[in-house]
């Protein structure tokens, strides 16, 4: 069984294997397919129309399936690799271990946001940004520039305490756990982290930055924590809701999985805290 660990506890060998598998997916072209898929749903998901990956109840199960696909791709390269998660409520600064040169590399230079160290820096030659909107083919970050502070544990706890999964109108105006975790309402958790990292992470092409996977692995973990705290509160809406994915509806682009199929993460992996 795959065990997803806190990135802060990874061994040097676990970091090396994760990075090597990510680089191999990039070299083969498979990585950029994930970037293209995510950007297509960012563009297509709107408050007033069909929405699947974002601004909608299926934000969490959609990304759970998306991360599973990526993790399986990594494991096709190295079966020992699991997605680590980044607890940004604990590792809240640009000095945290995930930004070290032996793992993801650090922030970008002030001139243009270009990441200058680590395995994904342009100078290393292994990480061209191919799915992009302009001519800049290098990884960019600006940690803590557009937003000064990452979410605190107290803010996370305030969202985990919400007893209802989601509410009408089932979009970015909704109240409830999902939208407060996604970040369109309230203390803003998930969205704020994207903006804090900056660079490609602040765009629809955010998976261009490998930290995307660690961020979303933690968002996924928070969903699992919420489920444990509120065993009587399930996924909503259940059925008959236009433009969104109901409990038993199939999700694009896979069309073979519903939110109901993804409610129990332990069927696929566990976390180191389970």
Residue pair 200/206 in contact (Cβ under 8 Å)? The answer is yes
Structure tokens belonging to residue 224? 């699992």
Name the one residue in this structure whose structure tokens are 């909107």: 133
- Asked whether residue 230 is marked as a ligand-binding residue, the answer is no
- Asked whether residue 216 is marked as a ligand-binding residue, the answer is yes
Closest CA to 124 of 220, 45, 248, 19: 19
The Cα-based distances of 239 to 50, 163, 227 in angstroms read: 15, 20, 20
Beta bridge partners of 85: 6
Per-position b or e across 106-132, b if 16+ CB within 10 A of its CB: bbbeeeebbbbbbbbbbeeeebebebb
- Asked whether residue 63 is marked as a ligand-binding residue, the answer is yes
- Asked whether residue 190 is marked as a ligand-binding residue, the answer is yes
Structure tokens belonging to residue 158? 């305030």
- Asked whether residue 38 is marked as a ligand-binding residue, the answer is yes
- Asked whether residue 268 is marked as a ligand-binding residue, the answer is no
Distance in angstroms (rounded) separating the CA atoms of residues 272 and 191: 25
Contacts of 193 (CB under 8 A, 6+ apart): 88, 150, 151, 215
Binding-site annotation: residue ranges for Cu cation: 38, 54, 63, 190, 194, 216
Binding-site annotation: residue ranges: 38, 54, 63, 190, 194, 216
């Amino acid at each position: 069984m795959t065990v997803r660990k806190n990135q802060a506890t990874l061994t040097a060998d676990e970091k090396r294997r994760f990075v090597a598998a990510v680089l191999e997916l990039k070299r083969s072209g498979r990585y950029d397919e994930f970037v293209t898929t995510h950007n297509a749903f960012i563009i297509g998901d709107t408050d007033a129309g069909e929405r699947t990956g974002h601004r909608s109840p299926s934000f969490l199960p959609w990304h759970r399936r998306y991360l599973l696909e990526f993790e399986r791709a990594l494991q096709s390269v190295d079966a020992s690799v699991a997605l680590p998660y980044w607890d940004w409520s604990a590792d809240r600064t640009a000095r945290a271990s995930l930004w070290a040169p032996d793992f993801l590399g650090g922030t970008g230079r002030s001139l243009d946001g270009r990441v200058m160290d680590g395995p994904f820096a342009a100078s290393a030659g292994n990480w061209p940004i191919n799915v992009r909107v302009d001519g800049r083919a290098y990884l960019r970050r600006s940690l803590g520039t557009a937003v000064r502070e990452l979410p605190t544990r107290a803010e996370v706890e305030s969202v985990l305490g919400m007893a209802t999964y989601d509410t009408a109108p089932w979009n970015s105006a909704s109240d409830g756990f999902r939208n407060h975790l996604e970040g369109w309402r309230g203390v803003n958790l998930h969205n704020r982290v994207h903006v804090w990292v900056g660079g490609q992470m602040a765009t629809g092409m955010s998976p261009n930055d490998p930290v995307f996977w660690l961020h979303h692995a933690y968002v996924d973990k928070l969903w699992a924590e919420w489920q444990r705290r509120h065993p009587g509160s399930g996924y909503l809406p259940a059925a008959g809701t236009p433009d969104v994915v109901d409990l038993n509806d199939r999700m694009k682009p896979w069309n073979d999985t519903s939110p109901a199929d993804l409610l129990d993460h332990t069927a696929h992996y566990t976390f180191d805290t389970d």
